C-alpha cells in the first residue's frame, strides 16, 4: 500500500542510518496509531483519509473474495502478519478460518483485540500477538501480509518474504506499493516539500523483484489485483507453493 500524500512521504536519504523496524514500531505506537486507527475505522475523517480508507477496504475485500471464491475458508489456518487493527483478521475469523494475527505495534494489537471482541465476542479467534513478523513461527495453510512491505527497503523485503514463505504450507498473499513511473514521480515530488512528517518512509517495490523473490522461495503467482484510488495504491499478489495447486 502506498498513500503518497505530502505528509506521508519522507525522504529516505534523511534517515538512512536509523533502523526501519524501530522507526515503524514507534510510529505505529504513537502518531501512526492515531492516524491509522481513524483511517481503518468508520468515524469522520478528512477527504484524503477517506480516499485511503476506501482504497484499503477494496484491498481487504479483494483478498476476502479470493479466499471465499475458493470455498474452503472454514477451518483453514491463516496467519495475518502485520494485522493492524484487524481489518482482515476479523472478517476471516467471522468466516470460520482459524486466524493467528500479529503486529509489531502493541497499540494496533490492543485496538484489534477490542474490535474483535465487539464484533465476534470472546471467541479467542483471531488469536492476537504483538510480534515482529520475522519472529513468527509455525506453519499455516495461508500466510497473508497486507500493506506492510511498504515500510521496508528491498533487501529487508526479501528477507521478510523468505521468512513468510517458510511458514506458508500452500499460499502466500502479499501487497506492496508498486514501483511505477507515476508513483516514483509522485514520491519524488512529495519529498521536495519540507516540514514535519506524520509518517514512516514509503518504499516502492518493483513487481518483477517481488515475483522473483517469491520464485526463489518456491512460490509462483496465481492471482493478482491492483487497488488504485487517488491517494492509495496497492498491488496484491497471491502465490502458491509451486508443487501445490491454489485450492490445496
Ligand X SMILES: C[S@@+](CC[C@H](N)C(=O)[O-])C[C@H]1O[C@@H](n2cnc3c(N)ncnc32)[C@H](O)[C@@H]1O
Note whether 108 binds ligand X by CB under 6 A. yes
Helix (H) or strand (E) holding 63: helix 47-69
Sketch the per residue contact string, 183 through 222, with ligand X: x for CB under 6 A, - otherwise: ----------------------------------------
Cα 138 to Cα 141, 200, 208, 241, distances in angstroms: 10, 29, 28, 16
**Residue numbers 16-35 binding ligand X by CB under 6 A:** 21, 24, 28
Of 132, 199, 218, 228, the residue at the interface with ligand X (CB under 6 A) is 132
141 binds ligand X (CB under 6 A): no
Span of 11-19, 98-106, 165-173, 240-248 interacting with ligand X by CB under 6 A:
98-106
CA of 48: how far to CAs of 31, 167, 179, in Å? Answer: 17, 36, 21
Taking CB under 6 A as the rule, does residue 167 contact ligand X? Answer: no
Question: Of the candidates 9, 143, 148, 186, which one interacts with ligand X according to CB under 6 A?
Answer: 148
Least distance to ligand X, CB of residue 211, Å:
21
Q: Which residues contact 168 (CB under 8 A, 6 or more apart)?
A: 79, 139, 140, 141, 142, 143, 219, 241
Q: Which residue has the cell 506524520?
A: 198
Question: Given the rule CB under 6 A, which of 47-55, 146-154, 182-190, 221-229 is the region that contacts ligand X?
Answer: 146-154
Q: In whole angstroms, give the CA distance from residue 219 to residue 167.
A: 12
Of 45-53, 102-110, 162-170, 205-213, which part binds ligand X (CB under 6 A)? 102-110
> What DSSP assignment string belongs to 156-168?
HHHHHHHHHHHHE
Rounded to a whole number of angstroms, the minimum distance from the CB of residue 88 to ligand X is: 6
Maximum Cα interatomic distance, the chain, rounded to a whole number of Å: 50
- φ, ψ for residue 233, nearest 5 deg: -135, 125
CB of 243 to ligand X, least distance (A): 28
* Nearest-angstrom CA–CA distance, 86 and 125: 11
CB of 81 to ligand X, least distance (A): 6
147 belongs to the binding site for ligand X (CB under 6 A): yes
Which is closer to ligand X, CB of 4 or CB of 108? Answer: 108
**C-alpha span between 52 and 4 (Å, rounded):** 10
Footprint of ligand X (CB under 6 A)? 1, 21, 24, 28, 36, 40, 81-84, 87-88, 103-105, 108, 132-133, 146-148, 151
Amino acid at each position: 500500500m502506498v498513500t503518497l500524500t505530502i505528509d506521508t512521504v519522507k525522504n529516505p536519504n534523511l534517515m538512512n542510518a536509523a533502523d526501519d523496524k524501530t522507526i515503524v514500531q514507534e510510529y505505529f505506537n504513537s502518531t501512526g496509531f492515531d492516524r491509522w486507527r481513524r483511517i481503518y475505522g468508520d468515524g469522520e475523517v478528512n477527504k484524503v483519509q477517506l480516499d485511503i480508507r476506501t482504497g484499503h477496504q477494496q484491498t481487504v475485500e479483494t483478498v476476502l473474495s479470493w479466499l471465499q471464491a475458493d470455498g474452503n475458508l472454514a477451518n483453514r489456518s491463516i496467519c495475518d502478519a502485520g494485522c493492524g487493527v484487524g481489518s482482515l483478521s476479523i472478517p476471516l475469523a467471522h468466516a470460520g478460518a482459524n486466524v493467528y494475527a500479529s503486529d509489531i505495534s502493541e497499540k494496533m494489537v490492543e485496538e484489534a483485540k477490542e474490535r474483535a471482541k465487539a464484533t465476534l465476542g470472546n471467541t479467542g479467534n483471531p488469536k492476537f500477538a504483538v510480534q515482529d513478523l520475522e519472529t513468527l513461527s509455525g506453519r499455516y495453510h495461508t500466510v497473508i501480509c497486507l500493506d506492510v512491505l511498504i515500510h521496508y527497503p528491498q533487501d529487508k523485503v526479501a528477507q521478510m518474504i523468505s521468512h513468510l514463505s517458510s511458514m506458508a504450507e500452500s499460499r502466500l498473499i502479499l501487497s506492496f506499493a508498486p514501483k511505477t513511473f507515476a508513483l516514483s514521480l509522485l514520491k519524488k515530488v512529495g519529498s521536495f516539500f519540507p516540514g514535519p512528517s506524520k509518517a514512516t518512509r514509503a518504499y516502492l517495490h518493483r513487481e518483477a523483484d517481488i515475483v522473483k523473490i517469491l520464485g526463489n522461495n518456491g512460490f509462483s503467482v496465481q492471482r493478482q489485483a491492483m487497488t488504485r484510488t487517488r491517494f492509495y495504491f496497492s498491488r496484491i499478489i497471491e502465490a502458491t507453493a509451486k508443487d501445490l495447486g491454489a485450492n490445496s
